[in-house]
Chains A and B, each alone.
Chain A
Amino acid sequence: MSKTILNFILLFLLLIPAQAVIFNNLILFNVAIPLVFIYLIIRLPMTVSVNAALTIGFITGLSVDIFSDTIGVNAMGCTLLAFVRRPVFHLYVSLDDQLGGQSPSISTMGSAAYMKYLITMTTFYCLTVFLIEAFQFFNLKMLVLRTVASSVFTFIAIYAIDSLSIRRRHEKKL
């Protein structure tokens, strides 16, 4: 358990500044932005209680907000994401204790279920965030475009990070 917490803290300290410094600047075609930091919430083990997940989500979102000066947007988005995490997970995996204390990943969920989980979560998050931002300036075409493009971009980015960590684990085993 303590190893999981340590891992999470390390990932937090790595992803939040990376989001601020690198990913926030990787805007493609003025619409697609990789919101990679939600990987923190996606990878939370299902054994973490909903209350704890909500708190973690809120803090994560607020941290990103502070860095990117979008106060409240990501905090709300991440809180929502943490809240729907378990229901989304159960859409694709019926048994809760199938994972045990492990994080959702390809190796623990199976490739197909994990992909679906990942796509749903990223799309949900992008839609939420861009909807919140749309309260200030509404443009349906832009909203759809940004949501789709950013979801795809975020999905690819997170999948890439996943592949890196999986390969590292394989190397350790060898």
Chain B
Amino acid sequence: MNELFNFFIRNSKWFIFAFYMVISCVLLAGDNPYQRHVFLTSANAVSATVYEASNNVTSYFNLRDINEDLNRRNAALEKEVIDLREQLARYREAGYTDTMVVDSGISHFDFIVAGVINNSVSKPYNYLTINKGTLDGVVPELGVIDQNGVVGIVSASAGHSARVLSLLNPNFRLSCKIKGSNNFGSLVWGGEDPEIALLEELPRHTVYQPGDTIVTSGFSTVFPEGLPVGIVLDDGKDHSENFFTLKIRLFADFTALSNVQVVINNRKDEIMAVEGSDIAQKKTR
């Protein structure tokens, strides 16, 4: 017995060597439960902590490349979005012309559908730009409306684009009346809120209720009669004067304009000619 112990102790290094080699072989040999034990893989808590710490540092090394990739991807996606948006706008324009109900009373007016490509509402003098120009028949002094109401009037036009004097511009005055009465006034932007305009110079005896609709008077060649403009909020001024002013909430949402229509009055020349001859007569008189 003693000799056996001595034998083991004397040759202990061989036994220990063999022991470790066997363990290594077991670990090496494919299918065994130890190999899949999470403790023996890099997923254990210690190595995960070490790798996470190193990743905190090394993840910065690739940022330039990753950034470049993202930028490239971003550019591609942006281009796609713009393409799709243009396509959508085209379809929307096409659908819009079909659904627009043209009143028989204004049938001598033609409409050109245009997309708004630039718009402002927060400046003191606001303009918008549309994507139709002289080549499409859009010339200055034409009215611009959208599905909700009056938007503005064309002030300048180029080949494929035109600048529109927005209703939100103090230079633009629109002749309007309260629906159902014939008293008309002059609509002008209040200057602050893109939803609020003022209807000025209403005669003192005008009957109205808050909530009444304001429509175009048709007293100009620009807009047909009866186009909706807004509703009466309340009267801002006292009634002691001969004329008073109403606060109007505009129908058109100027902050979200996408498609508009340019109104062409086919009888404009005729009317101008008639009015012109009147003036000429006055002059000759």
Contact = CB atoms under 8 A, between A and B. Distances in A.
Contacts of A135: 28
Interface stretch (A32-40, A65-73, A113-121, A163-171): A65-73
Contacts of A50: 13, 16
Given A21-B50, A79-B20, A73 B42 contact: no
B88 interface: no
B16 A76 contact: no
A7 B24 CA distance: 27
Nearest to B36: A71
Interface stretch (A51-59, A93-101, A104-112, A143-151): A51-59
Interface string B1-23: 00000000000110011001101
A75 B27 contact: yes
A68 B42 contact: yes
Nearest to A77: B24
Contacts of B82: none
Interface string B35-62: 1000111101011001100100000000
B35 to A, nearest CB: 6
A140 B239 CA distance: 106
A51 B23 contact: no
A79 B47 contact: no
A55 B16 contact: yes
Residue of B17, B24, B26 ringed by the most chain A CB atoms within 10 A:
B24
A79 B50 contact: no
Q: Which of B12, B17, B20, B27 has the most CB of A within 10 A?
A: B20
A3 B42 CA distance: 31
A71 B16 contact: no
Contacts of A83: 13, 17
Given A58-B20, A79-B21, A83-B17, A71 B28 contact: yes
B101 interface: no
A17 interface: yes
Nearest to A69: B42
Given A51-B12, A66-B47, A76-B21, A132 B40 contact: no
Interface size class of A (residues with CB under 8 A): 20 to 34
A132 B27 CA distance: 12
B27 A72 contact: yes
B256 interface: no
Contacts of B24: 58, 61, 72, 75-76, 79
Given A51-B12, A67-B42, A20 B28 contact: no
A51 B13 contact: yes
Contact of B51 (A20, A51, A57, A73): A20
Contacts of B17: 54, 79, 83
A21 B27 contact: no
Given A20-B47, A21-B50, A69 B41 contact: yes
A61 B23 CA distance: 12
B100 interface: no
A71 B13 contact: no
Contact of B20 (A17, A68, A73, A75): A75
Contacts of B16: 50-51, 54-55
8 contacts: A50-B16, A51-B16, A54-B20, A65-B40, A72-B29, A75-B27, A79-B20, A80-B21
Interface of A: 17, 20-21, 50-51, 54-55, 57-58, 61-62, 65-69, 71-73, 75-76, 79-80, 83, 132, 135
Interface of B: 12-13, 16-17, 20-21, 23-29, 34-35, 39-42, 44, 46-47, 50-51, 54
